[in-house]
């Protein structure tokens, strides 16, 4: 009994200690995004409470993917593919928002370690490559152009020094999977609290049915696709024949 | 208005897709080409993953070429025997083309080989078509007699067959050989090959422009059916929403193309196709010469 009481005490103290750490409580207006055929992008409200003054930084990272990158180079006046490399764990989506511009936070190291900010995203592949950074910058540039990375950080508003909120903007270029939403509370260039939330992006409706059939029943899908194209072509021919006649 | 394409995994403007379909429809109605040589690069430039662009384009061509084929078939402008022989050669050709493609990719330089042969091919075919059609036009104006086609030694090879619709009595070796080579090229370049097949039938076999278009559509129809099923089964890259929208846009286009063909003479048609092919060739050259916006090009694998 005594032993049990001691354990209980230790347990209680440890909880208390954990609680004494600075906290972030955060939630999203919706933790799932459904991609249907009419999907145009999504806006979610991300909000929460911090129990200490500081800067809040939120980053959204999409499922990490393998990508193949081709590099073009000018040889004898012609632009030719000079090299192909494969990179792994490249975020398919990236968005960041903060209370102040990232450069004004004076937390270069912390941001780098936590991969916050477009220039701090890290991924694997082609480690032996000379001038690897030029490849990495090229990938980021192309991702921005494709609407997958957001070059302009969003703004987080703080009210009453404790409540924060921001709008997370998702373009239509979403891959399905789990998106990580990481919230950091920074003070004097250090992380004093962190929290991770999740958003599930999945296909629904017709989009999901088509996607599932294409992947699970690919032969039938191919035959159906041809069949529909056939019906379509035939109907069009019949209609115009009657109209012209 | 945006629509989400479930296999391509991007959103695209509906009217943009419809108008691409329309242009492809006009081309296929007028010239008996699938239009893949034009639409595939446009789709890729607009952000559709290349593999999905090629796969969905094949499915789109099934529908549009069927409409065109039926149109020409009704007007008795399809040479079924010739079409069947071309198909046979094309199937064997594309099978060996896939094999050659793998061989070239192992050696690394596949893309450059493709783009140079493409430019060489398009350039010479386009310039020749333009030159020939202008010459015929001049001859017609001056009223001199035009032969149906020139007879050369290739027509006299063994295994001669009567091609009734084409008004030809020639050996089956040249059409087999031509369609085999085009099959190889088409498999390597990822296009249907109609834009090479049409000039080849006109100039090398001496068929009339009208019958060539109908027969070419027949060949394209069967090739695109096979490749749609292959792409769907092996790569899962056929987006039915994408190809459906292209088809919808093509409805009007195919009819307009077929309508124009009935009212325009053969050499004018050949001249127009020649001009389009030369433009495409110039575009490919410009891609090689002009500084690209992005030096690094991405391909999301999985």
Is B232 close to A228, i.e. CB distance below 8 A? no
C-alpha angle B258-B211-B279 in degrees, rounded to nearest 5? 60
CA distance A129 to chain B (A): 14
pLDDT at B113: 73
Kindly report the nearest CA distance between residue A153 and chain B, in angstroms.
23
Between A48 and B259, residue with greater pLDDT: A48
B278 has a pLDDT exceeding 60: yes
Q: What is the pLDDT of residues B84-120, one digit of tens each?
A: 998 898 888 877 877 777 777 666 566 677 778 778 8
Give the mean pLDDT of chain B. 82
Put simply, the answer to whether B298 touches A228 (Cβ < 8 Å) is no
Tens digits of per-residue pLDDT, A7-41?
Answer: 554 554 454 445 546 688 888 988 889 888 788 88
Instruction: Say what percent of chain A tops pLDDT 70.
Output: 90
Give the range with max mean pLDDT: B21-25, B197-201, B263-267, B298-302.
B21-25
* DSSP letter for each residue of chain B: -EEEETTTTEEEEHHHHHHHHHHHHHHHHHH---SHHHHHHHHHHTT--HHHHHHHHHHHHHHHHHHHHHHHHHTT---HHHHHHHHHHHHHHHHHHHHHHHHHHHHS-HHHHHHHHHHHHHHHHHHHHHHHHHHHHHHHHHT----S----GGGGSSSEEEETTTTEEEESHHHHHHHHHHHHHHHHHTS--HHHHHHHHHHTS---HHHHHHHHHHHHHHHHHHHHHHIIIII----HHHHHHHHHHHHHHHHHHHHHHHHS-HHHHHHHHHHHHHHHHHHHHHHHHSPPS-SEEEEE--
Question: In this complex, do A237 and B71 lie within 8 Å of one another by their Cβ atoms?
Answer: yes
DSSP for residue A124? B
Nearest by CB to B232, from A37, A69, A214: name it.
Answer: A214
What contacts B233, CB < 8 A, 6 or more positions away?
A: A218, A219, A222
Q: Which of A146, A222, A231, A240 to mutate to test the interface with B (most CBs of B within 10 A)?
A: A222
At residue B155, does pLDDT exceed 70? no
B230-263 pLDDT per residue, tens:
888 888 889 999 999 999 998 788 778 878 888 8
Given the DSSP bridges, would you call strands A154-155 and A94-98 parallel, antiparallel or unpaired?
parallel
Task: List Cβ neighbours of A238 (8 Å cut-off, separation of 6 or more).
Answer: none
CA A36 to chain B, closest CA, distance in angstroms equals 7
Confidence tier at A165 by pLDDT (50, 70, 90) = very high
CB contact under 8 A, B66 and A207: no
Q: Considering only the beta carbons, identify the residue of A37, A77, A142 that sits closest to B298.
A: A142
Chain B residues with CB under 8 Å of A40 CB are 2, 4, 11
Q: Looking at the complex, report in whole angstroms how far the Cα of residue B243 sits from the nearest Cα belonging to chain A.
A: 8
pLDDT-derived band at A127 (thresholds 50, 70, 90) equals confident
Which ranges of chain A would DSSP assign to H, the alpha helix? 2-20, 108-113, 132-145, 205-216, 218-244
Q: CB A36: neighbour CB atoms within 10 A? A: 13
Q: What is the mean pLDDT of residues A64-93?
A: 85
CB contact under 8 A, A229 and B59: yes
Distance CA B182, CA B94 (A): 8
pLDDT band at A45 (very low <50, low <70, confident <90, very high): very high
Nearest-by-CA chain A residue for B246: A229
Which of A70, A210, A230 comes nearest B297 by C-beta? A70
A206: which chain B residues are within 8 Å (Cβ-Cβ)? 6, 241
β-strand pairing of A32-35 with A190-203: parallel
Is residue B146 over pLDDT 60?
A: no
Model confidence, pTM: 0.75
* Separation between Cα atoms, residue B180 and residue B158, nearest integer Å: 18
pLDDT at B105: 67
Q: What whole-number distance in Å separates Cα of residue B170 and Cα of residue B150?
A: 12
Which residues make beta-bridge pairs with B21?
none
Query: Can you read off the two tokens belonging to residue A112?
Result: 């780098």
- What tokens appear for A170 in the block? 């998702």
Instruction: Give the number of A-B residue pairs with CB atoms closer than 8 Å.
Output: 178
Q: A132 to chain B, minimum CA–CA distance in Å? A: 12
pLDDT of the residue at A91 = 93
At residue A179, the pLDDT reads 94
Mean pLDDT of A169-197: 88
For residue A98, what are the contacts with CB-CB under 8 A and spacing of at least 6?
A: A55, A56, A57, A58, A105, A153, A154, A155, A156
Tokens for A200, please give them: 């599930």
Mean pLDDT is lowest, of A44-53, B36-45, B169-178, for B36-45
Give me the residue label for tokens 């092996």: B234
Burial of B263 (0-12, 13-18, 19+ CB in 10 A): exposed
Q: Check CB contact under 8 Å for B300 and A233.
A: no
Q: Which residue has the tokens 């004097």?
A: A188
Nearest to A172 among B2, B65, B287 (CB): B2
The per-residue pLDDT for A16 is 45
Q: Return the closest-CA partner of residue A44 out of A201, A162, A186.
A: A201
Greatest mean pLDDT among A228-237, B29-38, B112-121, B190-199 = A228-237
pLDDT computed for residue A12 by the predictor? 47
Residue from B232, B233, B244 whose CB has the most chain A CBs within 10 Å, to mutate: B232
Q: Which of B60, B247, B301 sits opposite A67 (nearest CB)?
A: B301
Distance from CA of B226 to the nearest CA of A (A): 9
> Which residue of A lies nearest to B289 if distances are taken between CA atoms?
A78
- The reported pLDDT for the residue numbered A224 is 94
């Amino acid at each position: 009994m005594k032993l049990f009481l001691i354990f209980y005490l230790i347990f209680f103290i440890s909880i208390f200690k954990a609680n004494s750490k600075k906290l972030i409580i955060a939630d999203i207006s919706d933790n799932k995004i459904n991609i249907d055929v009419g999907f145009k992008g999504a806006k979610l409200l991300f909000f929460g409470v911090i129990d200490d003054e500081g800067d809040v930084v939120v980053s959204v990272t999409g499922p990490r993917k393998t990508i193949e990158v081709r590099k073009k180079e000018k040889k004898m006046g012609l632009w030719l593919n000079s090299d192909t490399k494969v990179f792994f764990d490249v975020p398919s989506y990236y968005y960041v928002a903060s209370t102040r511009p990232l450069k004004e936070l004076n937390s270069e190291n912390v941001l780098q370690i936590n991969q916050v900010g477009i220039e701090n995203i890290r991924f694997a592949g082609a480690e032996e490559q000379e001038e690897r950074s030029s490849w990495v910058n090229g990938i980021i540039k192309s991702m921005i152009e494709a609407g997958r990375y957001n070059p302009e950080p969003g703004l987080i508003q703080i009210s009453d020094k404790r409540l924060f909120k921001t709008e997370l903007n998702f373009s239509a270029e979403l891959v399905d999977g789990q998106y990580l939403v990481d919230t950091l509370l920074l003070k004097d260039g250090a992380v004093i609290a962190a929290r991770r939330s999740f958003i599930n992006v999945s296909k629904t409706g017709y989009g999901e049915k088509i996607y599932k059939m294409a992947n699970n029943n690919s032969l039938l899908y191919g035959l159906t696709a041809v069949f529909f194209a056939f019906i379509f072509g035939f109907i069009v021919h019949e209609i115009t024949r009657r109209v012209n006649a | 208005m945006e629509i989400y394409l479930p296999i391509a995994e991007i959103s695209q403007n509906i009217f943009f897709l419809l108008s691409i379909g329309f242009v492809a429809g006009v081309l296929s109605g007028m010239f008996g080409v699938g239009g893949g040589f034009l639409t595939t690069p446009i789709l890729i430039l607009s952000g559709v993953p290349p593999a999905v662009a090629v796969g969905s384009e094949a499915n789109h061509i099934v529908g549009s070429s069927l409409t065109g084929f039926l149109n020409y078939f009704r007007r008795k402008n399809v040479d079924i025997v010739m079409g069947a022989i071309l198909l046979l050669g094309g199937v064997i050709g594309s099978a060996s083309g896939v094999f050659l493609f793998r061989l070239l990719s192992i050696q690394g330089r596949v893309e450059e080989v493709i783009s140079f042969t493409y430019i060489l091919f398009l350039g010479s075919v386009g310039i020749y078509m333009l030159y020939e059609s202008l010459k015929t036009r001049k001859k017609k104006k001056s009223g001199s007699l035009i032969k149906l086609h020139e007879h050369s030694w290739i027509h006299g090879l063994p295994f001669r067959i009567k091609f009734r619709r084409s008004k030809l009595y020639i050996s089956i070796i040249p059409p087999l050989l031509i369609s085999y080579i085009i099959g190889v090229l088409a498999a390597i370049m990822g296009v249907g090959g109609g834009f090479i097949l049409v000039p080849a039938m006109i100039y090398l076999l001496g068929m009339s422009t009208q019958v060539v278009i109908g027969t070419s559509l027949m060949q394209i129809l069967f090739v695109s059916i096979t490749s749609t099923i292959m792409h769907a089964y092996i790569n899962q890259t056929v987006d039915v929403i994408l190809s459906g929208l292209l088809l919808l846009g093509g409805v009007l286009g195919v009819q307009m193309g077929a309508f124009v063909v009935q009212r325009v003479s053969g050499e004018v048609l050949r001249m127009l196709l020649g001009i389009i092919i030369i433009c495409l060739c110039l575009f490919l050259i410009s891609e090689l010469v002009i500084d690209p916006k992005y030096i690094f090009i991405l391909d999301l694998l999985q």
